Every structure is written in C-alpha cells, then in structure tokens.
C-alpha cells in the first residue's frame, strides 16, 4: 500500500431495501491501522431541470423525512436496475409534475457524497411540455408543483430556501434555460 490506497479486508451488509444498502467495511489504512468504515450504497438517481415555454423552471415541494421538513427541488427519482438515467429523468418528470420532457440534454453526472456514499446524480435539462395525463405521483409522494423564473429560483438558492445539492447544481449548470 505504498501508493496510499486503503485495503478492504471485509464487508458486512447491515441494512438493505429496494433503494439503498448500508454496509460496514473493515479497512486497513496505509500505516497498518484497521478501522470500520460505513458506506451507503445507492443505484443513483436522475434529476431534471424542466423549462416551460414561458422560460420558468418547474420545481417540486415535498416532505423530506431525513431533514424533517419540506424542500423545494428539481423533479428527481431513483434509476431502477437496468434503466438508463434518461429514462428515469423522463419518468420522474411526468410522475411528479405532469410534464413531458422534450430535448432532454445531459448536464453532468456527479457523486453526491464521496466520503459516505456510492450515489451518483445524473442531471438533465429539458423543455417541459404539459401532458394532461399526469402527474402520477407514487403513493409515498405528496408533491406540490412550483414554477419559478430562473431568477427567482437562484434567489431561493442564495437565500437558503433551496439547499438540495442536485437542484443547486442543476440550476447553475442550466444557465437559465434550454439551448
């Protein structure tokens, strides 16, 4: 381990559900010290910056149990096994907002918390076209659709009302709209 890498000696899964798993790795550090290291495994998720023909961004307000409060964020959801992130982005946009994605463009794929998780967020931007068949949220989703101008959304970021990292990054990478 002269290169400074860590060596995994063992791995135990302590929790699993369809969305994530938590494992504890037994690790040997370069100096020989052995530690336990907790890792949250996730299949990742897709988030989309939907822009209406009026140049507003479509966001969702929903309860986030880990934070114990409501958040304002981009439509997003897990990438299912065998599913492409683009498919997940389109599905989640429709389910959560009733909009259909046109001209879906990949912005970036980023690790959300490199020190704690394997999770990757795939960010997209699209033109949002209303579809009268939606929205169709899952039974656990209680969502309110909120449309803001990009200026208003950025002010919500600056003021601390939008704190979701994927939403902040998606808004900043979008440069105010679809190209």
Same domain? 18 vs 99? no
pLDDT of residue 19: 81
What's CA 73's distance to the chain center, in Å?
Answer: 9
Query: Can you read off the two tokens belonging to residue 121?
Result: 């967020």
Give the DSSP per-residue string, 34-89. EEEEEEEEE--EEEEEEE-TTSEEEEEEEEETTTTEEEEE--EEE--TT--HHHHH
Same domain? 67 vs 151? yes
Q: How far is Cα 89 from Cα 49, in angstroms, rounded to an integer?
A: 10
Q: How many domains does the chain have?
A: 2
Same domain? 102 vs 18? no
Same domain? 126 vs 162? yes
Taken in order 147, 152, 157, 159, the sign of the CA dihedral is negative
pLDDT exceeds 60 at position 176: no
pLDDT exceeds 90 at position 128: yes
> In the predicted model, what is the mean pLDDT of residues 89-102?
94
Same domain? 13 vs 65? no
Q: How far is Cα 50 from Cα 66, in angstroms, rounded to an integer?
A: 25
Same domain? 81 vs 120? yes
pLDDT of residue 81: 84
Assess if residue 62 is contained within a domain. yes
Assess if residue 2 is contained within a domain. no
Same domain? 25 vs 73? no
Same domain? 26 vs 55? no
> In the predicted model, what is the mean pLDDT of residues 75-104?
94
> In the predicted model, what is the mean pLDDT of residues 51-76?
94
pLDDT exceeds 90 at position 133: no
Q: How far is Cα 3 from Cα 11, in angstroms, rounded to an integer?
A: 22
Higher pLDDT pick, 178 / 12: 12
Pairing mode of beta strands 76-78, 45-51: antiparallel
> In the predicted model, what is the mean pLDDT of residues 154-167?
95
DSSP at 16: E
Assess if residue 146 is contained within a domain. yes
Assess if residue 179 is contained within a domain. no
Same domain? 98 vs 143? yes
Same domain? 93 vs 164? yes
Same domain? 67 vs 38? no
Assess if residue 1 is contained within a domain. no
Query: Containing H/E element for 28?
Result: strand 20-28
CATH of the domain at 58: 3.90.79.10
Higher pLDDT pick, 159 / 135: 159
Range of the domain at 106: 45-174
Closest CA to 118 of 31, 11, 2: 11
- Asked if 150 contacts 55 with a C-beta cutoff of 8 angstroms, the reply is yes
Same domain? 54 vs 36? no
């Amino acid at each position: 381990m002269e290169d400074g890498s860590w060596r995994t000696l063992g791995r135990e899964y302590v929790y699993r559900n369809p969305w994530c798993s938590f494992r504890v790795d037994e690790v040997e550090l370069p100096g020989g010290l052995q530690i336990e290291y907790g890792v949250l495994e996730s299949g990742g998720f897709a988030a989309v910056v939907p822009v209406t023909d009026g140049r507003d961004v479509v966001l969702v307000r929903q309860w986030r149990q880990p934070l114990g409060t409501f958040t304002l964020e981009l439509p997003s959801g897990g990438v299912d096994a065998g599913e492409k992130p683009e498919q997940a982005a389109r599905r989640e946009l429709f389910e959560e907002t009733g909009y259909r994605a046109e001209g879906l463009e990949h912005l970036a794929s980023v690790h959300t918390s490199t020190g704690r998780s394997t999770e990757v967020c795939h960010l997209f931007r699209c033109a949002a076209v209303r579809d009268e068949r939606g929205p169709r949220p899952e039974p656990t989703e209680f969502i309110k659709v909120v449309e803001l101008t990009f200026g208003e959304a950025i002010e919500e970021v600056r003021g601390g009302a939008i704190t979701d990292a994927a939403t902040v990054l998606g808004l900043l990478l979008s440069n105010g709209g679809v190209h």
